Amino acid sequence: MTTRPPPRGPNGPKGRPGPRPGAPTAGRPRTGPRTSARDAAERAAKVRGADAGERAPWIPRAVEDGERPSRPAKAAQSKPAAGKPARTPKKPAQPAGPTRREQRAAASETLASGVQTLTVEADEAGMRIDRFLTARFPQLPFTRVQSIVRKGELRVDGKRAKPNDRLEPGMSVRVPPLRLDQPSERPRSAAREADDAAFLRSLILYEDAEMMVLNKPFGLAVQGGSGTVRHVDGLLAALTGPDGQKPRLVHRLDKDTAGCLIVAKTRLAAATLAKSFRSRAARKIYWALTAGVPRVRQGRVSTYLAKEEPTDADARMRVARHGDEGASHALTYYAMVDQAAQKLSWLSFKPVTGRTHQLRAHAAHIGHPIVGDPKYFSVENWELPGGIQNRLHLLARRIVIPHPRTGRPVDVSAPLPPHMAQSWNLLGFDAARYDPVVDAPED
């Protein structure tokens, strides 16, 4: 008897019998090599359509173009449930750093602070070029203003400007690129402003609608500088009026000089008062305690003064000769009011000009420097009398200036600061004594 090998079915493994022809297969449709005539006709029609240029619905474009098909994203394959919106794919995170729009805005700000051309207004007539910059750019430190002017970076009507140049209405001022201090993001404290306003009002010697005269204390700077945080110019912001106008400085005093300081309340008053100083219509008297007793009790000091270091805004002044670079004429009248034991003198000064450190330099020039002056006191083997403080003994005692609106004289006197009052008491000086410098000439 001959044994035949089991037939190999299309689905059966080798060596195992496949399903009998016509028998059903559990769990899957029947498959076999046979196809019906209908299936063959449909398949042939699809092939003919592809050959004729018609896209078969089951052929992806990538396959048709000869590219390798990519697996579609799972989110794209899944359909949204009924009544729910399709999920929007998340955008990739933006890289850190400024955007293109932010870069353009920064560039615009840089251009905005580039070279500027300003026109002098009518109420700015006669202003010094440094005061003009300070008024136009109040957030610019005064030391920076001085540096710009000193280096000749300004052009007035096309010409290089000098520090003492005066402006007239209609002039064109070309300003170099400025790095302005950004305003603080912190809100101003109402309590701090109230304290500043109360402090300034305690210093007022005279006040009306256009101006006021402050009794500036020893050690308080008039304007800000390197390392100077508290100064009169900054404190004046606390007295800004309802119209938004901040009181303006008209002149300056050294940090350690006490006494009368004029402040204008309006822009027009500031311009008018500044003209009075330039035309020498303002008369000033200073008191000082000096070393030694001058041989000439009343005299006149006329020199040229220049800075020892031209690039330093607070440099020591030296007596120069006419024609020296940066030298300016300085004229001062003085008179001795009283003296103590031939060692100390109470001198009264009437400056005609208003140069930097003029009185301090002139007092040292005549051999009688002011007591407590760290820059100009150079007397050898000189000891400070007991009870007298080693502070600058210089007071802006009195000022007389035409009122900016009425033209009538405003005459204001300041009392001695505490350290000078102490010295006057120790030396037996009477502050009510007649001051002979009052009768000194005005020019």
* Complete DSSP assignment for 369-422: PBTT-TTT---TT--PPTT--SS--EEEEEEEEE-TTT--EEEEE-PPPHHHHH
DSSP class of 165: -
Residue range(s) defining the domain that contains residue 371: 280-439
When the pLDDT of each residue in the chain is averaged and rounded to a whole number, the result is: 78
Same domain flag for 250 and 376: no
3-state SS, residue 240: coil
Same domain flag for 357 and 408: yes
Q: Which CATH number does the domain housing residue 133 bear?
A: 3.10.290.10
Average pLDDT over residues 392-416: 96
Q: Quick one: pLDDT at residue 3?
A: 52
Active site residues: 254
Same domain flag for 254 and 138: no
Choose among 259, 209, 240, 227: nearest CA to 403.
209
- 51 vs 191: CA distance, rounded Å: 90
Please determine, for residue 369, whether its predicted confidence score (pLDDT) is greater than 60: yes
The 10s digit of each residue's pLDDT in 151-205 is: 777 888 888 887 777 888 888 888 887 765 544 445 567 888 899 999 999 999 9
pLDDT confidence bin for 241, thresholds 50/70/90: confident
Same domain flag for 331 and 402: yes
Considering only residues 307 and 95, tell me which one the structure prediction assigns the higher pLDDT: 307
The 10s digit of each residue's pLDDT in 289-329 is: 999 999 999 999 999 999 988 767 678 999 999 989 889 99
CB 228 within 8 A of CB 222: no
Average pLDDT over residues 268-276: 91
3-state SS, residue 143: helix
Q: Quick one: pLDDT at residue 440?
A: 83
Average pLDDT over residues 248-255: 93
Residue 129 is encoded by which pair of tokens?
């070029």
Residue 329 neighbours by CB under 8 Å, 6+ apart:
302, 303, 304, 322, 353
- 162 vs 146: CA distance, rounded Å: 11
Hey, which residues does 172 pair with through a beta bridge? Answer: 119
3-state SS, residue 166: strand
CB 423 within 8 A of CB 393: yes
From the number of C-beta atoms within 10 Å of its C-beta (0-12, 13-18, 19+), residue 273 rates as buried
Asked if residue 288 is part of any domain, the answer here is yes
Q: What percentage of the chain carries pLDDT values higher than 70?
A: 71
Choose among 285, 283, 321: nearest CA to 305.
321
Number of compact structural domains in the chain: 3
Asked if residue 85 is part of any domain, the answer here is no
DSSP class of 287: E
Q: Quick one: pLDDT at residue 59?
A: 40
The β-bridge relationship of strands 211-216 and 159-160 is unpaired
CB 248 within 8 A of CB 268: no
Q: Could you write out the DSSP letters of every residue in 71-112?
A: PPPHHHHSPPPTTSPPPPPPPPPPPSS--HHHHHHHHHHHHH
Asked if residue 299 is part of any domain, the answer here is yes
Asked if residue 264 is part of any domain, the answer here is yes
Same domain flag for 151 and 263: no
Please determine, for residue 283, whether its predicted confidence score (pLDDT) is greater than 80: yes
pLDDT confidence bin for 357, thresholds 50/70/90: very high
Q: Could you write out the DSSP letters of every residue in 245-277?
A: PPPEE-S---TT-EEEEEEESSHHHHHHHHHHH
Sequence-separated contacts (24+) of 137-145 with Cβ below 8 Å: 137/178, 137/180, 138/246, 139/180, 139/181, 139/183, 140/178, 140/180, 140/181, 141/181, 141/224, 141/225, 142/223, 142/224, 142/225, 142/233, 143/224, 143/225, 143/226, 143/313, 144/178, 144/179
Q: Quick one: pLDDT at residue 108?
A: 39
Domain-terminating residue out of 268, 296, 315: 268
Instruction: Tell whether the torsion through CA atoms of 374, 376, 378 and 382 is positive or negative.
Output: negative
Q: Quick one: pLDDT at residue 4?
A: 57
Considering only residues 24 and 202, tell me which one the structure prediction assigns the higher pLDDT: 202
Q: Quick one: pLDDT at residue 6?
A: 54
Same domain flag for 261 and 202: yes
Instruction: Tell whether the torsion through CA atoms of 83, 85, 86 and 89 is positive or negative.
Output: negative
Asked if residue 137 is part of any domain, the answer here is yes
Q: Which CATH number does the domain housing residue 227 bear?
A: 3.30.2350.10
Q: Quick one: pLDDT at residue 111?
A: 37
Considering only residues 399 and 116, tell me which one the structure prediction assigns the higher pLDDT: 399
Same domain flag for 330 and 395: yes
The 10s digit of each residue's pLDDT in 109-160 is: 443 457 888 888 877 777 888 778 877 776 677 677 777 877 777 888 888 8
Q: Quick one: pLDDT at residue 374?
A: 93
3-state SS, residue 437: helix
Q: What percentage of the chain carries pLDDT values higher than 90?
A: 43
Same domain flag for 368 and 321: yes
